[in-house]
Every structure is written in C-alpha cells, then in structure tokens.
Structure 1
Amino acid sequence: MISKVQMLSVTALGNLDAYIRIANLWPMLSIKEENSLAKRLRYHGDLDAAKTLILSHLRFVIHISRHYSGYGLLQADLIQEGNIGLMKAVRRFNPEIGVRLVSFAVHWIKSEIHEYVLRNWRIVKVATTKSQRKLFFNLRKSKKRLGWFNEEEIEIVARELGVSNEDVREMESRMSAQDITFNAFPEEDVKDGKINNNMLYLQDKTSNFANGLEQDNWDKHATDKLSSALLKLDERSRNIIRARWLDNKKKSTLQKIANDYGISAERVRQLEQNAMKKLKIAIEN
C-alpha cells in the first residue's frame, strides 16, 4: 500500500487550487477497470493498482471535505484526513461484494474527517461517545436551518435525531461555549484591583485541608512535648538521645558514645533505655 507520506505529499504543493487541479486530472474508473485493479491489489498485493485506485478517487474526498467547511478548519487539512480514510478503505475493499469503491469508502473518509474535526474544533472535546459524536454533527446541520433553539425546536431536533431533549440542550451548550485560557497574560493578571487568573480557582480534589491542618498542629504539639521532655533529662542522657536519634547526621553507635564518655557500651545502652522511658512518660502526661 502506498505510504501516507507519499500520498499526502501531494497536498504540500502550497496551493490548494493546484492540488485540486492535479486531483481532477486523474480519470474516473469504469466498473471493469475498478474491479480489475481491486483484484490485483487484494489477491496479488499490487501497489501500483492501489495507487491508481486512490488517485482516481481524490476528487471524491475533496467533494466530501467541502461539507465540513463551517468548522473553522483548513480545507487542506480536512482533505488530508479524508485521504487517510480513503487509503484505509482501499486496503479493506473487497471487489467480490459487488459495490463500487466510492460507496464503500464514504464511511472511512467521513470517519477520519469527523475524528479530525472533534480533535481540533475546540481544546476541550465536545463529544467523546459515539452517540455524542452523531448528535454533534447532526446538530450542526440542524443549527444552520433553525438557528438558536427554543423549546419547540429542541423537541423537533430530539425527535428527528432520536435523542432526549436534555441531550440536545447539553450538546447545544457545549457547542456554544468558548475556550478560555486558565493563565492570564501578565498585563491581564490584575483587573479592577483583583487578581484575574482562573488557575487560582481550580479545585484540587486530592487535597484535604482539614487533615493537613490537623497533622501540622499535631506535629507542632509532639515537637513541643519532646523538647520539654528532653529538658527534664540530665545532660549526659540528653546528649545520648540526641546522638542516637535526633541528630540529622549519621546515627552514633553505642561504642562511639562509650568512648566519648569513658564508659562501656553496655552502660550507654542502659542510659539510653532509661532516658527513653523517662521521655515516654513525660510525653504521655
């Protein structure tokens, strides 16, 4: 199959009119020619046959893309996406079914264009499910005919599309909404003496302010209790506890402390245990 790069490089001519003229130069295929090319591709992997099938149907992609000109997107981009759909259709086309390639390719071409429109029409997707996508494109057609909807018009559209009134209202609301930036530009940060930055109003659902405040209060309370309890120990016991448990540096060994005080390591261990008991009692009271 001809690659996407090879196929879509035609649109890189820099002039849409030139591309359309080139696409229209390729003659349309007769039923017999199309069937023969499709069989060569399907049964023999003939890439030249695939190329001819694709190029002879480019004008059809151009025709379909014009129906999506009201979305504010470049027609060249719409054509490019439609060409991808055409290539997918050619790859899957079975000449034995008895339908023309153009009829088979409609679904694939529109599907690619639809996906592109939904990805690029707004920053935030207006339609994610299959039913929402169908409603989005059908609602756009209805909008051109009816303009802004009142209750009666909503009921008409809902009945025509087989959806609820609420679905129509929700999609109309999504389509009418505008994208706005969360981060204001520096000169727009302050308006009428107030900070104008939407980022400040985003809710952090992972944060629990009450729990955080309670934890901070408890940590301060525990630190104050420990500091008071240490002051009740004699200096040597206090230094042992700090060297063994509270210094930010590497924890001192019993033998090192024993060498500093000229006593045995066992005696240091006993002093440490006695000091820990006194601290526990002082903190709990």
Structure 2
Amino acid sequence: MNAQPDALSMYRAEIARRRILSAEVERELAIRWKAGDREAGRLLIEACLSYVMTIAREYRQWGAPFEDLVQQGNIGLLQAAQRFDPTRGYRLATFANYWIRAEIRDYVTRNYRIVRLGTSKAERRAVRFFRRAFVRDAATLAARTGLSEQRAHELIPLLAGPDAPIDTGAQSDGPADSALSPEAEVCRADERAQITRAVKSALSELSPREQQVLERRIMSDEPATLAELGAAFGVSKERVRQVEEQAKQRMRGHLRTLAGSL
C-alpha cells in the first residue's frame, strides 16, 4: 500500500477529532482572528475542515483524486474565512459553501474534462458568469456568454450542482456516507434559512402583481398558465409573460445584490 491512502486516513482521523463549534464560540473566535489572533483563526478554520470533506465527496466521481478535491476545497475555505464577517449572523461553513465549491469546480474544469465542461471560451465565460449571477435561465446564459441555448440548457445542471457524475465507471474514494455529519446538518439548515430570507426579501421588492405572477407561475405546486393569469388580470397572455420576465429579472438583480453584500 502506498503512502497516500495512509496520509488521507490520518487526515480524516485528525479532523474527526475536531469539535464542532457553537455559533457563539465561532463568532468569538472570528472576532479575535480579525483582531490579529492567529490561534483563534486556526481553531476557526480547523472546525470547518470536515465540512470541506463533505462537499468534496459530492465531486469524487468526476475522476479527480479525492485528496486533491479536499485540498482545493480547503483553499476555498481559507478564502471565505478571510472575507467572513461574524456580525452578519451566518456560520462560517454556510458562508464558505460558495468558495469551497468554486475552487473544486475550477480545479475539475481545468484538469478533468469528464463532463466536457469549460472546453471552449464560451463555456468558460458561462462558468464565470454563473458564479457571479447564479442565473438559471438557459436563454439568458446563452445571450450573455455566446453559447447556444441548447448547450446552455445542458450546462446549467452541471453548474448548479451538486454535480451528477457522468462517467459512472470512475473510481471513487469509497462508499458515500449515508448520513450527514452534525456540522453538515447545521450548515444545511443555516443555508436553507439564508436562502429563504433572501427570496422573501427579493419578493418584497416586487409590485403586488409581479408577486402574484411569480407565486402562481413558478412557486405553486400547480402552476397557472399564461392564459389563466391573463384572464384573471384582464390582460393578454403576452402581457403576463412580460410581467413574469420583468419580475424574474428584478428578483435576480436583488439576489445578486444580496450575494454581493456578504
């Protein structure tokens, strides 16, 4: 047996011994680190290393060595920790989710082309644009990056992740865990709450009609048709479509503003 599996096993065992920080302790450490306490920063970051491994497991079957995915994820964690503001009320692991995934995806895109993502200038523009704007509409992604709408439609699930493996025969790092760690559970709950608050805030910026259109068109279990809404509002189907598109654009703009304020 070579040294790499032993080193990875030792690393896993080491971070498994790190205790999960409460929100209060995490906030105190973050404040101390911002004030120059390097030991506080070390404790803060080490407490989130297990979360990096949780995310890295989602990308194992892209074909990259698991230890490389973890290393790149740790780089993302360090970048997030440098930007982290403990006064905003978010947990570091939740805040770091974006940077951890971004570093892992960039690494996979550069080195492992299993999914043929990022092999053209337009696709690389799409990756960068998606990371800035989180756009989920294929037509918008195509218009802003030069992709065909069909290719944009194919890429959005890969960009949005967690990424489904394309090469099912790729070697993984062992069986995936069936249950989340306590830290991952806390972070997912925090992330869901953050998203819910952001969506509610964005909706509140819309006019009453725009809110009704979005709620009945994309947020309902049984979405209404354009014709149904046109009849309800006494306008044409085309006017409802215009209101829907305008509301989506305003929502995206507000969500980008919220994301940029973090």
- Give TM class, smaller chain: 0.3 to 0.5
Computing the radius of gyration from Cα coordinates, the structure with the larger value is 1
Q: TM-score, normalised by structure 1?
A: 0.43
